[in-house]
Structures are given as structure tokens and as C-alpha cells.
Amino acid sequence: MPATHPVVIGVDSSTQSTKAAVVDAATGALLAVGRARHTVTGTGGARESDPEQWWSALGEAVARGLKEAGVAASAVTGIAVAGQQHGLVVLDPAGRPLRPALLWNDTRSAPQAADLTDALGGPDAWLARAGSVPVASMTAAKWQWLCEHEPATAAATAAVRLPHDFLTERLSGVAATDPGDASGTCWYSTADGAYDPALLQLLGLAPESLPVVAPSGATRVGTLTASAAAMLGLPDSVAVAAGTGDNMAAAVGLGLGGAGHLDHPVVSLGTSGTVFAATRTRPAAPGLAGFAAADGTFLPLGCTLNCTLAVDRFADILGLDREDAVPGDGLVVLPYLDGERTPDLPHAAGLLTGLRHTTTPRAILGAAYEGAAFTVLRALDELLAACGLDPADPAVRDRPLRLIGGGARGRAWTETVRRLSGRPLVVPFATELVALGAAALAAAAASGEDPVAVATAWGTGHGELHPAAAKDHETWDRIAGTLERATPALLS
């Protein structure tokens, strides 16, 4: 039904696709979601995409969303982009990509990440400045890889952007980013709230090649350029927000951060698995990404590379439906099909142990779920500890997890997380939290309101409560022991 209030558009530009959520700015009602696919190329550790495809997909997704919603273009007042984090986009002086973007899950830069860590004096030096230690996914490692493997391209680079920066600049004509997504580069200081000159010098990056860091993802950086307005079929008066990274946008969509304390921790089950929480403290731990939130507070995050996509691959190999799983029955699967980020095992492959004559395909699939869920939940324990909380404390353990992402809609995922965490879960009713978070940023850019307050009023974080189940310590300890014994081999 057409909106009777001003409308905003929240864009979720992810690894595999673009989604454009058309949202009633007054009520938060999701009127429609337009979608367009992306192509990811590369073999081995390479993962790349053409940024021009993201721009085309954004236009297609917006057009489809507006058509489905039946919304007049004149009703749209704001737009914001939330993008996949860490991707390296290098542009020529005319703003054209010099090569496909290196994506967050491109692991070729693992050696460069290790070299950068040593060059600054070790993990503690990086934590003090950037809040994170370089790993293969971080943009700084990807830039270093480019400098070493494609020096002519690096030398020709006039501008360096993250995926959401690239799209925001195409929309507004302004080279701007936000503290949240910038904090995933490893050249932005979460301690100082600005690019770190020493890190830029180490990387050989000119400050003028980078976008300006807006105060928040909700900052109005401009309005649509004439060309962007024509491409989208929207008025050039539409406000463009600075936007942010996908995880930061999901936090906004959940209403996290406004109270200024560690809220319900979040477990996101998507292509990657992530855990994060909003806090005003600045935790710094080697196994975590010490991100900033979209408003410049903090969003410590743990990320695993192998989550729903890896488990779905096991289902494909076994010829099973993804829900046709049972507990692992003594098996252990470490589904590290793309290497792994947390723990930092970039060259690892998948591992399966404990096979018997009685082993069934359903149990193997269940063990894949268990291995992926264990890896994510162990990162959650590290995050809580870094925030000064004891994961075993009943006051902490009984706090519900907010379970989001595509996996949160699956019975097998939900039950596996309940069993291995021993904690209650809240599964939000909203299914497009990244896009809804971006829409809240767009609404704030258009109105001047606080985006977390906007999302809270919309109620996008409300959901269904799943009571706690008894923690399956036997399975947890079996996986933990296997990982400990296997790590030396996985590192080789």
C-alpha cells in the first residue's frame, strides 16, 4: 500500500546482493524490499567483485522496491547505504575502479597482515592505535597486498574507498565515510576518532586519497547528485546519509547503543558469523575487531568466515535439506572451508573426525552446524571477557542473545545455538535489520533525529523469545579439544 508519510530508503549492499528497503519514516513499516544480485569471482583465497556492479545493483534494487511499494518518488526524503565491511576499492582520478574490489573474505593478504603486525611492533601496538590487529580481512592488509602484487595499480590509485564509501560518493558526490566502517580499515584510530598518521605512513597511504570521516553514519553529507537522481528516478533533494558498515547498521536497526552500555549481545548468522555488542568502553583484545559504532562509540566484534554458506555446502555434499540434521553423535566438524578468521587460521581447510560404521549423513550435517556454532559462540565469550564480563556469571549467561541473519530463521541453527550456548534467544521479527538500520540512518539524516532513537521507536529490535536450553557441555568440550589438537596442522 502506498505510504502516506515521508519514505526513506535503506540500502544493504552485501557480498552476494543488494537490498533496498523502502520504509515509512514515521512508523518504520517495511513497505517493500527490492533486490539485485552481485557476482563474486576468484579461486583459492581470492574473492573479488566489480564495484560498478554494486552501483548498477543499487539502482535495480531501488527501482524494484519503489515499484513494489507503490511509492511516488516525491515521497522519498532520505537514503543511506550500509555495506559489506573491509573491501578495498581503488579508483582513478575520474572515480572509476582500477580493478575489481578485494572483498572482506579474500584471504590472500594473510602474509601481509602478519608483516604489518610485526612492522608496528606486535599486536599490542595495533590494539593501542587501531583497536584491532591486522588479519587477512582488514583493508590495510589488502592495500599492502595490492602494493606488493600489483604495484602499478597501487601507484595509479587516486582514491581508496570501502564499498559503502564508494556507493555513498556515487549518490552524493561527496567522499565521506563514518567512524564505524572506517574502524574496520586498520588505519583509523578508535582511540583518537580519526585516521592515524603513523599508520598511514606505514602503509604509504596519502590522507587526501581517503574519504572524510563524518561524525556519524547519520550525518547528512549532501543530497543526490543530478546523475544519481536521474539514475534512481528520485528528486535531487533527497538527503544522503554518510552510511556505515553492515554490522554497525544492524546494531542501529536493533536499537543498540542509545543507552550507552553493553546491551544484549548479538549473534549474526550469515555468510560469515559475527558477534557484537554496543558499549561505551573501548575493549582491545587480539581475537576481536575493536570497531567503532556508527556514532563513534564502540562495537567490539568477533567474526568467523564460515557460517551458513559452509554448512549449506555440507548439506549439498550430503544430498540433504539444510534442516535435515540431528546432533553430531560423537562427530566433530570444523567447517573451515574458506580458511578461518576467528580463530586466525587463514590457510585452514575443513576437518571431520569421529566417523563410525553407524555414522549417518544427518549426523555429519548436525556436526557441521555444531562446529560453526561453536566457533561463533567461542568468539562471543572472548567478546564478553574483553568487555570486563565473565561469560560464566549467571547475570551475564542469562542475558538473552539476539539472534539475527539468515540462519536465525532456520530451526537447525536456532536449536544448535540454544544447545551450545545454554542461553535464551531473542529472534527479531524484522528480517532486514541491516537495511532497516540504514533506513534509520537515512531518516535521521533527513530529520536531524538520533538514528537509534528512530529505530527504537520503530520497534525493529522486537522479537520472539526462545527459552534457554541446558548447555551441551559434552559436545562443546569435544569440539574445543579437537580444535586445540588440530590447530598446529591447520596452521600449516
Cα–Cα dist 198/468, whole Å: 47
The amino acid occupying position 44 is G
Domain of 63, in residue numbers = 7-248
Would you say residue 269 lies in a domain?
A: no
| 199-217 pLDDT per residue, tens | 999 999 999 999 999 999 9
Which DSSP helix (H) or strand (E) runs through 199?
helix 197-203
Rounded mean pLDDT of 327-340? 94
Cα–Cα dist 269/253, whole Å: 16
**What is the structure's pLDDT at 303?**
87
User: 106 an active-site residue?
Assistant: no
Would you say residue 373 lies in a domain?
A: no
**What is the structure's pLDDT at 152?**
98
Which DSSP helix (H) or strand (E) runs through 444?
helix 433-447
C-alpha 167 chain-centroid distance: 16
**What is the structure's pLDDT at 398?**
86
Would you say residue 71 lies in a domain?
A: yes
* Average pLDDT along the chain: 93
Higher pLDDT, 400 or 91: 91
Cα–Cα dist 367/359, whole Å: 11
Higher pLDDT, 398 or 473: 473
Residue 102 has pLDDT above 60, yes or no: yes
**What is the structure's pLDDT at 346?**
83
| 145-191 pLDDT per residue, tens | 999 999 999 999 999 999 999 999 999 999 999 999 999 999 999 99
Residue 263 has pLDDT above 70, yes or no: no
Residue 402 has pLDDT above 50, yes or no: yes
Q: Are 320 and 365 in contact (CB under 8 A)?
A: yes
What does each C-alpha distance from 312 to 318, 332, 340, 412 come to in angstroms?
10, 17, 17, 12
**What is the structure's pLDDT at 1?**
42
CB-based contacts of 91, cutoff 8 Å, min separation 6: 97, 98, 157, 158, 159, 160, 161, 166
Rounded mean pLDDT of 420-447? 95
Residue 250 has pLDDT above 80, yes or no: yes
Cell numbers for 141: 592488509
Domain count, the chain: 1
Higher pLDDT, 403 or 278: 403
Cα–Cα dist 275/299, whole Å: 10
Cα–Cα dist 342/326, whole Å: 25
Would you say residue 492 lies in a domain?
A: no
**What's 68's domain CATH number?**
3.30.420.40
| 34-89 pLDDT per residue, tens | 999 999 999 989 999 999 999 999 999 999 999 999 999 999 999 999 999 999 99
| 453-479 pLDDT per residue, tens | 999 999 998 999 999 999 999 999 999
Residue 261 has pLDDT above 60, yes or no: no
The position carrying cell 581503488 is 90
Would you say residue 344 lies in a domain?
A: no
3-class DSSP state of 420? helix
Annotated catalytic residue within 12, 106, 165, 246: 246
Cα–Cα dist 306/292, whole Å: 24
Residue 257 has pLDDT above 80, yes or no: no
Q: Are 301 and 292 in contact (CB under 8 A)?
A: no
Would you say residue 326 lies in a domain?
A: no
Residue 491 has pLDDT above 80, yes or no: no
Residue 419 has pLDDT above 90, yes or no: yes
**What is the structure's pLDDT at 492?**
64
Would you say residue 370 lies in a domain?
A: no
Would you say residue 67 lies in a domain?
A: yes
Q: What angle, rounded to 10 degrees, do the helices at 163-172 and 51-69 form?
A: 60
Cα–Cα dist 373/37, whole Å: 27
**What is the structure's pLDDT at 322?**
97
Overall pTM > 0.95: no
**What is the structure's pLDDT at 347?**
86
* β-bridge partners, 79: 9, 240
Percent of the chain at pLDDT above 90?
82
Q: Which of 449, 388, 458 is nearest to 428 (CA)?
A: 458
**What is the structure's pLDDT at 236?**
97
Residue 3 has pLDDT above 60, yes or no: no
First to last CA, the chain: 57
